[in-house]
Amino acid sequence: MVNTLAKMIDHSLLHPTMDDAKLKAGCELAKKYNVASVCIKPYAVKKAVKWLEGSDVMVGTVIGFPQGGNTTEIKLIETEQACKDGAVEIDMVVNIGKVLGEEWDYVKNEIRLINEATVSKGAVLKVIFENDFLTEDKFKIKLCEICSELKVAFVKTSTGYGMVKGADGNYSYKGATEYDLKLMRKHSSPEVQIKAAGGVRSLDDLLKVKSWGVTRVGATATATMLNDAMVRFQGSQALPDSDSETDDIDGY
Protein backbone atom coordinates (compact mmCIF):
# COMPACT_ATOMS: atom_id res chain seq x y z
CA MET A 1 0.00 0.00 0.00
CA VAL A 2 2.79 2.46 0.87
CA ASN A 3 4.50 1.89 -2.46
CA THR A 4 1.18 2.35 -4.27
CA LEU A 5 0.65 5.67 -2.53
CA ALA A 6 4.24 6.77 -3.19
CA LYS A 7 3.74 6.14 -6.91
CA MET A 8 0.79 8.53 -6.85
CA ILE A 9 3.01 11.48 -5.89
CA ASP A 10 4.73 14.03 -8.09
CA HIS A 11 7.01 15.76 -5.58
CA SER A 12 6.69 19.46 -6.34
CA LEU A 13 9.88 21.53 -6.62
CA LEU A 14 8.46 24.67 -8.18
CA HIS A 15 8.43 27.35 -5.51
CA PRO A 16 10.19 30.51 -6.77
CA THR A 17 12.40 30.73 -3.67
CA MET A 18 13.93 27.28 -4.08
CA ASP A 19 17.63 27.45 -4.94
CA ASP A 20 19.67 24.58 -6.37
CA ALA A 21 20.50 23.19 -2.93
CA LYS A 22 16.80 22.91 -2.09
CA LEU A 23 16.02 21.42 -5.48
CA LYS A 24 18.72 18.79 -4.99
CA ALA A 25 17.44 18.02 -1.48
CA GLY A 26 13.95 17.63 -2.93
CA CYS A 27 15.21 15.15 -5.52
CA GLU A 28 16.99 13.21 -2.80
CA LEU A 29 13.76 13.10 -0.79
CA ALA A 30 11.84 11.90 -3.86
CA LYS A 31 14.45 9.21 -4.45
CA LYS A 32 14.35 8.11 -0.81
CA TYR A 33 10.58 7.67 -0.86
CA ASN A 34 10.53 6.27 -4.42
CA VAL A 35 7.72 8.55 -5.58
CA ALA A 36 6.38 8.68 -9.13
CA SER A 37 8.25 11.81 -10.18
CA VAL A 38 9.60 15.19 -9.30
CA CYS A 39 7.98 18.20 -10.96
CA ILE A 40 10.86 20.65 -11.06
CA LYS A 41 11.53 24.12 -12.45
CA PRO A 42 12.41 23.93 -16.15
CA TYR A 43 15.99 25.17 -15.87
CA ALA A 44 16.81 22.34 -13.45
CA VAL A 45 15.54 19.40 -15.51
CA LYS A 46 19.06 18.34 -16.56
CA LYS A 47 20.24 18.56 -12.95
CA ALA A 48 17.27 16.49 -11.75
CA VAL A 49 18.03 13.74 -14.27
CA LYS A 50 21.54 13.52 -12.84
CA TRP A 51 20.41 13.73 -9.20
CA LEU A 52 17.88 10.93 -9.74
CA GLU A 53 20.23 8.52 -11.50
CA GLY A 54 19.88 4.99 -10.21
CA SER A 55 16.21 5.39 -9.31
CA ASP A 56 12.97 4.97 -11.22
CA VAL A 57 11.69 8.40 -10.12
CA MET A 58 10.75 10.27 -13.29
CA VAL A 59 11.54 13.89 -14.09
CA GLY A 60 8.71 16.23 -15.01
CA THR A 61 8.49 19.96 -15.51
CA VAL A 62 6.04 22.75 -16.29
CA ILE A 63 5.16 24.66 -19.46
CA GLY A 64 3.46 28.07 -19.67
CA PHE A 65 3.59 28.09 -15.89
CA PRO A 66 1.77 29.34 -13.90
CA GLN A 67 -0.45 31.73 -15.88
CA GLY A 68 -0.81 29.90 -19.19
CA GLY A 69 -0.60 33.07 -21.27
CA ASN A 70 2.46 32.30 -23.38
CA THR A 71 1.97 31.93 -27.12
CA THR A 72 1.52 28.40 -28.41
CA GLU A 73 4.83 28.75 -30.24
CA ILE A 74 6.68 29.52 -27.02
CA LYS A 75 4.95 26.67 -25.20
CA LEU A 76 6.11 24.34 -27.97
CA ILE A 77 9.69 25.56 -27.64
CA GLU A 78 9.50 25.07 -23.89
CA THR A 79 8.17 21.55 -24.40
CA GLU A 80 10.85 20.57 -26.90
CA GLN A 81 13.62 21.94 -24.67
CA ALA A 82 12.25 20.20 -21.59
CA CYS A 83 12.10 16.85 -23.38
CA LYS A 84 15.59 17.40 -24.81
CA ASP A 85 16.85 18.02 -21.28
CA GLY A 86 15.34 14.74 -20.08
CA ALA A 87 11.80 15.47 -18.88
CA VAL A 88 9.39 12.59 -19.50
CA GLU A 89 6.31 14.31 -18.06
CA ILE A 90 5.09 17.74 -19.11
CA ASP A 91 2.55 19.76 -17.08
CA MET A 92 1.16 22.51 -19.33
CA VAL A 93 -1.18 25.34 -18.30
CA VAL A 94 -4.01 26.09 -20.72
CA ASN A 95 -4.55 29.62 -21.96
CA ILE A 96 -7.05 30.53 -19.24
CA GLY A 97 -8.32 33.67 -20.96
CA LYS A 98 -9.05 31.73 -24.13
CA VAL A 99 -10.95 29.12 -22.10
CA LEU A 100 -13.06 31.79 -20.40
CA GLY A 101 -13.66 33.42 -23.78
CA GLU A 102 -14.80 30.02 -25.09
CA GLU A 103 -12.34 30.21 -27.97
CA TRP A 104 -12.36 26.44 -28.18
CA ASP A 105 -10.65 26.09 -31.55
CA TYR A 106 -7.62 27.95 -30.16
CA VAL A 107 -7.63 25.95 -26.93
CA LYS A 108 -7.98 22.62 -28.70
CA ASN A 109 -5.32 23.40 -31.28
CA GLU A 110 -2.82 24.42 -28.60
CA ILE A 111 -3.39 21.28 -26.54
CA ARG A 112 -3.21 19.14 -29.70
CA LEU A 113 0.12 20.62 -30.81
CA ILE A 114 1.73 20.35 -27.40
CA ASN A 115 0.42 16.82 -26.88
CA GLU A 116 1.80 15.76 -30.25
CA ALA A 117 5.18 17.32 -29.49
CA THR A 118 5.28 15.69 -26.08
CA VAL A 119 4.27 12.22 -27.24
CA SER A 120 6.71 12.36 -30.17
CA LYS A 121 9.52 12.65 -27.61
CA GLY A 122 8.27 9.68 -25.60
CA ALA A 123 6.85 11.85 -22.83
CA VAL A 124 3.31 12.32 -21.49
CA LEU A 125 1.25 15.50 -21.16
CA LYS A 126 -0.75 16.72 -18.19
CA VAL A 127 -3.10 19.61 -18.97
CA ILE A 128 -3.57 22.06 -16.09
CA PHE A 129 -7.00 23.74 -15.99
CA GLU A 130 -6.46 26.11 -13.00
CA ASN A 131 -9.97 25.47 -11.74
CA ASP A 132 -10.04 28.38 -9.29
CA PHE A 133 -10.27 30.70 -12.30
CA LEU A 134 -12.95 28.68 -14.10
CA THR A 135 -16.14 30.09 -12.66
CA GLU A 136 -18.60 27.67 -14.27
CA ASP A 137 -18.64 23.89 -14.67
CA LYS A 138 -19.05 24.22 -18.43
CA PHE A 139 -15.43 25.34 -18.82
CA LYS A 140 -14.05 22.34 -16.91
CA ILE A 141 -16.35 19.91 -18.69
CA LYS A 142 -15.40 21.22 -22.13
CA LEU A 143 -11.69 20.93 -21.29
CA CYS A 144 -12.23 17.34 -20.14
CA GLU A 145 -13.99 16.58 -23.43
CA ILE A 146 -11.23 18.16 -25.51
CA CYS A 147 -8.48 16.32 -23.61
CA SER A 148 -10.39 13.06 -23.95
CA GLU A 149 -10.78 13.54 -27.69
CA LEU A 150 -7.07 14.30 -28.05
CA LYS A 151 -6.12 11.33 -25.83
CA VAL A 152 -4.10 13.45 -23.40
CA ALA A 153 -2.56 11.36 -20.61
CA PHE A 154 -3.73 13.49 -17.64
CA VAL A 155 -6.02 16.36 -16.78
CA LYS A 156 -4.95 18.34 -13.72
CA THR A 157 -6.82 20.69 -11.42
CA SER A 158 -4.36 23.44 -10.62
CA THR A 159 -0.89 24.93 -10.63
CA GLY A 160 -0.78 25.47 -6.89
CA TYR A 161 -0.25 29.18 -7.51
CA GLY A 162 -3.58 30.39 -8.93
CA MET A 163 -4.61 32.84 -6.24
CA VAL A 164 -7.98 34.55 -6.85
CA LYS A 165 -8.47 38.15 -5.72
CA GLY A 166 -11.76 38.67 -3.92
CA ALA A 167 -13.97 41.75 -3.75
CA ASP A 168 -12.33 42.62 -0.41
CA GLY A 169 -8.90 42.70 -2.03
CA ASN A 170 -7.73 39.54 -0.29
CA TYR A 171 -6.48 36.49 -2.14
CA SER A 172 -7.80 32.95 -1.68
CA TYR A 173 -7.10 29.55 -3.17
CA LYS A 174 -9.03 26.28 -3.18
CA GLY A 175 -6.91 24.01 -5.36
CA ALA A 176 -8.11 20.44 -5.76
CA THR A 177 -11.66 20.15 -4.41
CA GLU A 178 -13.80 17.05 -4.09
CA TYR A 179 -16.40 18.59 -6.38
CA ASP A 180 -13.93 19.35 -9.16
CA LEU A 181 -12.12 16.04 -8.97
CA LYS A 182 -15.36 14.08 -9.24
CA LEU A 183 -16.54 16.36 -12.06
CA MET A 184 -13.30 15.83 -13.99
CA ARG A 185 -13.42 12.07 -13.49
CA LYS A 186 -17.03 11.95 -14.67
CA HIS A 187 -16.43 13.95 -17.85
CA SER A 188 -13.06 12.51 -18.88
CA SER A 189 -12.71 9.27 -20.79
CA PRO A 190 -11.53 6.29 -18.71
CA GLU A 191 -8.10 6.41 -20.39
CA VAL A 192 -7.45 9.98 -19.18
CA GLN A 193 -5.98 10.06 -15.69
CA ILE A 194 -6.75 12.73 -13.09
CA LYS A 195 -4.07 14.68 -11.23
CA ALA A 196 -4.95 16.65 -8.10
CA ALA A 197 -2.80 19.62 -7.18
CA GLY A 198 -3.33 22.12 -4.39
CA GLY A 199 -4.20 21.20 -0.83
CA VAL A 200 -3.36 17.48 -0.64
CA ARG A 201 -1.15 17.60 2.44
CA SER A 202 -2.06 14.64 4.67
CA LEU A 203 -2.36 10.88 4.36
CA ASP A 204 -6.12 11.15 4.76
CA ASP A 205 -6.21 13.72 1.93
CA LEU A 206 -4.25 11.33 -0.27
CA LEU A 207 -6.52 8.40 0.48
CA LYS A 208 -9.63 10.48 -0.15
CA VAL A 209 -8.57 11.67 -3.59
CA LYS A 210 -7.50 8.13 -4.47
CA SER A 211 -11.03 6.93 -3.66
CA TRP A 212 -12.40 9.55 -6.08
CA GLY A 213 -10.40 8.15 -8.99
CA VAL A 214 -7.29 10.33 -8.77
CA THR A 215 -4.11 8.52 -9.82
CA ARG A 216 -1.53 11.28 -9.38
CA VAL A 217 -1.07 14.09 -6.88
CA GLY A 218 1.19 17.13 -6.95
CA ALA A 219 2.49 17.58 -3.41
CA THR A 220 5.08 19.22 -1.23
CA ALA A 221 4.08 17.30 1.92
CA THR A 222 5.49 14.05 0.54
CA ALA A 223 7.47 12.96 3.59
CA THR A 224 4.60 13.73 5.96
CA MET A 225 2.11 11.67 3.96
CA LEU A 226 4.36 8.69 3.35
CA ASN A 227 5.79 8.59 6.87
CA ASP A 228 2.23 8.44 8.17
CA ALA A 229 1.43 5.70 5.65
CA MET A 230 4.36 3.62 6.90
CA VAL A 231 3.12 3.87 10.45
CA ARG A 232 -0.53 3.20 9.59
CA PHE A 233 -0.18 0.42 7.04
CA GLN A 234 3.12 -1.23 7.93
CA GLY A 235 3.38 -0.55 11.63
CA SER A 236 6.89 0.74 10.97
CA GLN A 237 8.62 3.95 11.93
CA ALA A 238 9.10 6.89 9.62
CA LEU A 239 12.29 6.99 7.59
CA PRO A 240 15.20 8.41 9.59
CA ASP A 241 16.29 11.96 8.88
CA SER A 242 13.35 12.38 6.54
CA ASP A 243 12.53 16.00 7.36
CA SER A 244 13.26 18.35 4.51
CA GLU A 245 12.77 22.01 3.82
CA THR A 246 11.07 20.98 0.58
CA ASP A 247 8.36 19.25 2.59
CA ASP A 248 7.35 22.53 4.19
CA ILE A 249 7.29 24.97 1.28
CA ASP A 250 3.83 25.95 0.16
CA GLY A 251 2.88 25.53 -3.45
CA TYR A 252 1.01 22.41 -4.40
pLDDT for position 245: 46
The dihedrals phi and psi of 3, each to the nearest 5 degrees, come to -65, -40
Domain ranges of the chain: 2-247
CATH code, 2-247? 3.20.20.70
Region label for 163, one of left (φ > 0), alpha (ψ between -120 and 50) or beta (otherwise): beta
Catalytic residue positions, numbered = 91, 156, 195
| pLDDT tens figures, 182-198 | 999 999 999 999 999 99
> What is d(CA 21, CA 106) in angstroms, rounded to the nearest whole number?
39
List the single range of 44-48, 67-71, 203-207, 234-238 with lowest mean pLDDT: 234-238
Flag whether the pTM goes above 0.95: no
List the single range of 81-90, 129-138, 203-212, 236-245 with lowest mean pLDDT: 236-245
- Alpha carbon 175 to its chain's center: 11
Residue scoring higher pLDDT (161 or 104):
104
- Peptide bond before 66: cis, by omega within 30 degrees of 0? yes
Q: How many CA atoms lie within 13 A of 187 on its CB side?
A: 19
The dihedrals phi and psi of 198, each to the nearest 5 degrees, come to 105, 95
Please, what's the b/e burial string for 235-245 (b: 16 or more CB within 10 A of its CB; e: otherwise)? eeeeeeebebe
What integer best gives the mean pLDDT of the chain?
94
